[in-house]
């Protein structure tokens, strides 16, 4: 199964994601493929959700079982704004 945070991030529901992280859900919880909410938000192109997850400490370098990071999901999906956002975080910006 997937966590409520993963579902909200995948669908781009910023207010739900914010409520969940404010109530201390685990940001690093993974689905059966090893994907986190950050992977889901990046793949969906939800820049605001990605920003919120990063602000709360989501691991930008977390990889799923195939070795893909959120950055790779965003790149493959063509979300250049999210790609730039994740690269900036990787570079400590």
Is the domain covering 4-90 a CATH 1.25.40.20 domain?
A: yes
What does the mean pLDDT of the chain come to?
A: 96
Q: What was the pLDDT predicted at 1? A: 77
Q: Give, rounded to a whole angstrom, the gap between the first and last alpha carbons of the chain.
A: 33
For residue 90, what pLDDT is reported? 87
Domain edges within the chain: 4-90
| CA-to-CA dists, residue 1 to 6, 32, 41, 60, 74, angstroms | 10, 7, 17, 22, 22
Span 47-68, pLDDT tens digits: 999 999 999 999 999 999 999 9
pLDDT digit string, tens, across residues 25-47: 999 999 999 999 999 999 999 99
- Between 52 and 91, residue with greater pLDDT: 52
């Amino acid at each position: 199964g997937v966590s409520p945070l993963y579902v909200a991030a995948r669908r781009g529901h910023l207010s739900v994601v914010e409520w969940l992280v404010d109530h201390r859900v685990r940001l690093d919880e993974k689905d059966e493929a090893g994907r986190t909410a950050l992977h889901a938000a990046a793949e969906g192109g939800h820049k605001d959700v990605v920003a919120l997850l990063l602000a709360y400490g989501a691991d930008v370098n977390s990889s799923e079982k195939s070795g893909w990071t959120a950055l790779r999901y965003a790149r493959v999906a063509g979300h250049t704004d999210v790609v730039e956002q994740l690269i900036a975080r990787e570079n400590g910006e």
